[in-house]
Amino acid sequence: MLKKIFYRQPKKKAPEQPAGADASLWTSPVEFDEAWKRRIATMASYIKTPCSVADFGCGMMWLEKLLPPGCTYVPIDFVRRDDRTLVLDLNRDPFPSIHAEVAFLSGVLEYVENVEAFAQELTKAGFQKIILSYCTLEKFSGLQTRKNLNWVSHKSLFDLLAIFLPHYSLVGLDDVNANTILIFDRKDHEGRAI
């Protein structure tokens, strides 16, 4: 299954519903593929020391149990997962003030309409590390297949690098089940990874 949370558009929307994605989607645990745990575990292995981690698209919050002791976990999702969840629609809501060192995005950017603008917001928020996975065009080139999965962004690896490299250094590259995993560290004023 290649489903992930956030921004899955409803098949049909009643006229009285508000604009945006259907909040009833992605509320059941059956919507989440157990195979995603492997991707999340691989991504989490790049978090070595205690820090605060903002988990964008936290879903079933599998990441929290994989963090090193002493980490602070900030769950962010399109629907409330628990009392701590920051409920946020990345395509419509203003980017909130988030105090965390690491931005963790497992299968989220495919659902972000304007990846460039979202990356600018991550940069402004001051994240020191960004750990993300993305199904790039090199691995999933069929546009119709991507659209059938409700993905709204269609980027290549080179597109992602062009978006993030002005402010971040690529310090890791991995792959899990055709998901490209990129690990970025923020650059200092002289262009070196911090």
Q: What is the pTM of this model?
A: 0.81
Query: What is the CB neighbour count within 10 angstroms for residue 42?
Result: 19
Instruction: Name the residue with higher pLDDT: 194 or 145.
Output: 145
Number of domains observed in the structure of the chain: 1
Among residues of the chain, what percentage have pLDDT more than 90? Answer: 68
5-13 mean pLDDT: 38
104-110 mean pLDDT: 95
CA distance 108 to 130: 13
Residue 193 maps to a domain: no
Residue 169 maps to a domain: yes
- Note the pLDDT of residue 191: 67
Give the tens place of pLDDT for each residue, 144-177.
999 998 899 999 999 999 999 999 999 999 999 8
CATH number at residue 145: 3.40.50.150
- Note the pLDDT of residue 5: 40
Residues 6+ apart with CB under 8 A from 185: 128, 129, 168, 169, 171, 193, 194
Q: Which domain holds residue 77?
A: 37-186
Instruction: Name the pLDDT band for 194 (thresholds 50, 70, 90).
Output: low
Matching residue, tokens 């929307």: 13
CA-wise closest residue to 9 among 124, 114, 152: 152
Quick one: how far is CA 62 from the chain centroid? 14
pLDDT at residue 59 above 90? Answer: no
